[in-house]
Amino acid sequence: MAAPARALGVALLLITPRVLADERFDHRGSLGLIVAGDYSGVDSIGLSVPKKDEGLRYVLDLGATRAIGYDGNEVLGMLSLGFDAPTLQPVDLGVAGGYRGYFGSGRIKTFVDLDLSAHALRLFTVGPRVGIGAQWEIASVLGVFFGLIGELGIGTVELRYSAQLTLGFQPRTYLLE
């Protein structure tokens, strides 16, 4: 009984360095899921009416990514639900879509998001969403990221702007590669 266990242990020791050496972190060919939580500050300027949208929010993001090109950069789409920080009442529904470009190919890389976003519930606005951050690849199929995001939205009666801190994770699959 002890000999098979020893043989298995030796085999694992011999295989493990090879597996770790072949592990890649570039996202090339991957499909991913984004699950994130944000802390957001929102304010607005009323163009023809008093402002309607302001305050602190907790935001839940759920999205999907698809790697494009050789470098593993991604297109992404995301749905966001914002809750008023003191009351936890839903106050915002948002969608965003765009491009996430990565810098680096190792376990730790930085990224920039260039997106178009739209928000509804208290008011309807559309505009650019720009983010920067860093991602740590726990494994080739799972990364944890944090970032800073800024948004500007223009509506018919209001100009909305926000800044948020985000923390999330991105599980990935390489089934379509």
Residue scoring higher pLDDT (23 or 148): 148
| Proportion of the chain above pLDDT 90, given as a percent | 63
Distances (CA, A) of 14 to 3, 18, 23, 84: 17, 8, 16, 53
Task: Report the pLDDT averaged over residues 99-108.
Answer: 93
Q: What is the pLDDT of residue 46?
A: 79
In sequence order, which residues have a C-beta less than 8 Å from that of residue 127 and are 6 or more positions away?
116, 117, 151, 152, 153, 154, 160
Q: Does position 17 have pLDDT exceeding 90, yes or no?
A: no
Q: What is the pLDDT of residue 40?
A: 96
Task: Report the pLDDT averaged over residues 81-110.
Answer: 94
Residue scoring higher pLDDT (72 or 146): 146
Q: Does position 113 have pLDDT exceeding 80, yes or no?
A: yes
Domains of the chain: 26-173 (2.40.160.20)
Q: What is the pLDDT of residue 146?
A: 98
Q: What is the pLDDT of residue 10?
A: 57
Q: What is the pLDDT of residue 135?
A: 97
Q: What is the mean pLDDT of the chain?
A: 88
pLDDT tens, residue by residue, 61-95: 999 999 998 888 999 999 999 999 989 999 999 99
Task: Report the pLDDT averaged over residues 7-33.
Answer: 66
Of residues 88, 22, 92, the one with CA closest to residue 54: 92
